Amino acid sequence: MDNFDWIDMTMKMNEVRLFSRTLVHRYTPALERTNQEYDLLSQLIKNEEGMTPIKLSKAMCLNKTIVSRLIDSLSKNGYVTKKPDINDKRSYSVCISEMGRKELQKIYEFYLSPIYKLRKKLGDEEFFKLISSIEKANKIMNEE
């Protein structure tokens, strides 16, 4: 590890943590699902053909056990469906149901309001620079 001033780096880490928490961890009294469940539904709406639990796990940066619990909860409540793999009876894909689509549509404004606010306040140029830097950082942090 490079010899950066650890106190300064701790403060920077706290800023990153606060930014992340501010975007995601907000009180949501009107919402019926957890943020992780909404994240899973959002992953599925981008992938019409469905996703395996392992692909969801990688996309969400969660372990497979947590993703399986999320899938079970969403499936039980009718927000997702499981499609067996015809080539591998042990595997399946998860697809968003019409009910899941309606739930996402209902909450998207609340769920995305922090990012819309950020874009409006920063302006497009600064906002997209920030997003680009975050994407680069995510890529670096997820290298194996």
Which pLDDT tens digit goes with each residue over 18-74? Answer: 888 887 766 555 667 888 998 999 999 999 889 999 999 999 989 999 999 999 999
Contacts of 92 (CB under 8 A, 6+ apart): 52, 53, 82, 83, 84, 85
CATH architecture of 33-141: Orthogonal Bundle (1.10)
| pTM, entire model | 0.70
Domain ranges, ordered by start, for the chain: 33-141
What does the pLDDT look like over 96-109, one tens digit per residue?
Answer: 999 999 988 888 87
| Contact call for residues 93 and 51 (beta carbons, < 8 A) | yes
Angle at 107 between CA 101 and CA 112, to 5 degrees: 110
Q: pLDDT at position 114, please?
A: 87
